[in-house]
Amino acid sequence: MEVKNIVVVGRRNVGKSSLVNMLVGQQVAIVSDVAGTTADPVRKRMEITGVGACNVIDTAGIDDVGELGEKRVERSLEAAGYADLALLVFTGGGLSDDDRQLIEVLKEKGVPFILVHNQEDIEPLSDDALAGIAEECGCYVVRFSCTIGGNVDELLGLIANVLKESEITVCDGEKAAAEGGVGGAKSKGLLDGIVSEGDRVLFVCPIDGEAPEGRLILPEVMGIRSVLDNRGVVMVCQPGEVLDMFPMGKNTFGFKLVVCDSQAFKEVASVVPSDVPLGSFSILLARLKGPFEMYLSGVKKISSLCDGDRVLILESCSHRATCEDIGRVKIPALMRKVTGKRLEFEFVSGVDSITNNRYALVVQCGGCVVTQRVIRERLRLFVEMGVPVTNYGLALAYMNGLFEVEGFKRFLRLLTNF
């Protein structure tokens, strides 16, 4: 479901771009014997057996020099920090100091990695050196030659193994704290653990000006797929039809749960019987991708915000903001209204750098376009500093008074009790 990021890193001229081209089977990155050929990260989507869709990302050498070189190195390290897996390419029969420093960074950020000794045709890695490095670094070490080729399938198999082994499987607060603050997700499907065989679920999907042309949005599609995976039954309607789904205000169809778009919350809550759990796609996504327990405790900070407090809004996708934009317009307006305080908002899009500015609260979007790792990595800084973090869906629910609504309380119980 998630598109994993595999980042190829190492010193200049070791064959990173050559390796990327071999893995994806196309000439996507420029190869040359001039050190520093690759400047910005270059990405190519590919399908890896046993993993699914992946982005293979080529980067500039981590030993680049000069003013521009330093900026390139910064970009490479940033890409490595967000990776689900790094392939560290090295040559010359052993690790250099630069390689060792890079390994430290990867370990610190919890990024699994494979060491690829390239240019074996020029200088092979001895058995002793290989064993020593594998022991020192605690990872796989692979011999490779982009000129000779040959073992691409073996390397892809290894990549699949390491990605599977490193899959994040925890969500609870204690384990998250032990891991350095930010936990991962409990499961892979949006409704795993909530919907089981024969359960009926109602999805409320508004088709309004913000709905994309001719299709559903990703969390809605993920939700439908997850209900099907769990052998449940899903019915889909627009907010205007919800009343018909509960004849005489009763749960006649026996819905276990109603899930709607955050923005339709109030409208839908007014017609769904209070004994039916009612939640939003964005909160389901938050459970899957983010440190959910932290989001839940962080959202309460909204009540104690003070005049002059800074709030950071993190949106993972890049889009042009419209006047109805949820992160840039609606959440700030509602937060100012609900708190009655003079709040300052800052916004960061995509994976743009975050300049730490002593925020009182950080509000992360659902992150449907990015991986768990990207969200964890972006929030790590704040979690470590004890800054409360929450997410769009929970913030909207809190500010709209849903934490007091019985159906929503039941929804949260469903999410946190299994």
Ligand X SMILES: Nc1nc2c(ncn2[C@@H]2O[C@H](COP(=O)(O)OP(=O)(O)OP(=O)(O)O)[C@@H](O)[C@H]2O)c(=O)[nH]1
What residues make contact with Mg ion under the rule CB under 5 A?
Answer: 16-17, 37-38
| Shortest Cβ 78–ligand X spacing (Å) | 16
Among 2, 5, 6, 13, interactor with ligand X by CB under 6 A: 13
**Residue nearer to Mg ion on the CB measure, 16 or 289:** 16
Q: Residue 91 CB, nearest distance to ligand X (Å)?
A: 8
Stretch that binds ligand X, among 117-125, 181-189, 380-388, 398-406 (CB under 6 A): 117-125
Burial (CB < 10 A; 0-12, 13-18, 19+), residue 173, is: middle
Give the Cα separation of 75 and 98 in Å (integer): 16
Are 60 and 53 contacting, i.e. CB atoms less than 8 angstroms apart? no
Distance CA 3, CA 353 (A): 21
Alpha carbon separation from 400 to 57, 179, 305, 397 (Å, rounded):
41, 33, 16, 5
Which of residues 38, 226, 262, 400 is near ligand X by CB under 6 A?
Answer: 38
On whether the CB atoms of residues 96 and 15 are closer than 8 A, the answer is: no
The residue among 117 and 328 lying less far from Mg ion, judged by its C-beta, is 117
**Position 31 contacts ligand X (CB under 6 A):** yes
Q: Does 76 bind ligand X (CB under 6 A)?
A: no
Query: With binding defined as CB under 6 A, does residue 12 bind ligand X?
Result: yes
**Tokens 């809550």 found at:** 269
- The answer to whether 390 touches 324, Cβ cutoff 8 Å, is no
Q: Does 391 bind ligand X (CB under 6 A)?
A: no
What proportions of the chain, in percent to the nearest 5, are helix, strand and coil?
40, 15, 40
Separation CA 250–CA 114 (nearest Å):
56
- Would you tell me how many other CB atoms lie within 10 Å of the CB of residue 159? 25
| Under rule CB under 6 A, residue 93 binds ligand X | no
Alpha-carbon distance of 319 to 383, in angstroms, equals 27
56 interacts with ligand X by CB under 6 A: no
Based on CB atoms, which residue is closest to ligand X, 5 or 316?
5
Min dist. Cβ of residue 69 to ligand X (A): 10
Is 146 one of the binding residues for ligand X (CB under 6 A)?
Answer: yes
Q: Does residue 41 belong to the site contacting ligand X (CB under 6 A)?
A: no
Of 1, 35, 131, 333, the residue at the interface with ligand X (CB under 6 A) is 35
Q: Is 14 in the site for ligand X (CB under 6 A)?
A: yes
CB count in 10 Å sphere of residue 110: 16
Instruction: Give the position of tokens 């995976």.
Output: 229
Among 4, 5, 9, 17, binds ligand X (CB under 6 A): 17
Helix 331-339 to helix 392-399 angle, to the nearest 10 degrees? Answer: 40
Piece of 26-34, 194-202, 267-275, 299-307 that binds ligand X (CB under 6 A):
26-34
Binding partner at 145 among ligand X, Mg ion, none, C-beta below 5 to 8 Å by kind: ligand X
Q: Is 15 in the site for ligand X (CB under 6 A)?
A: yes
| Residues in contact with ligand X by the rule CB under 6 A | 12-18, 31-33, 35-38, 60-61, 118-119, 121-122, 145-147
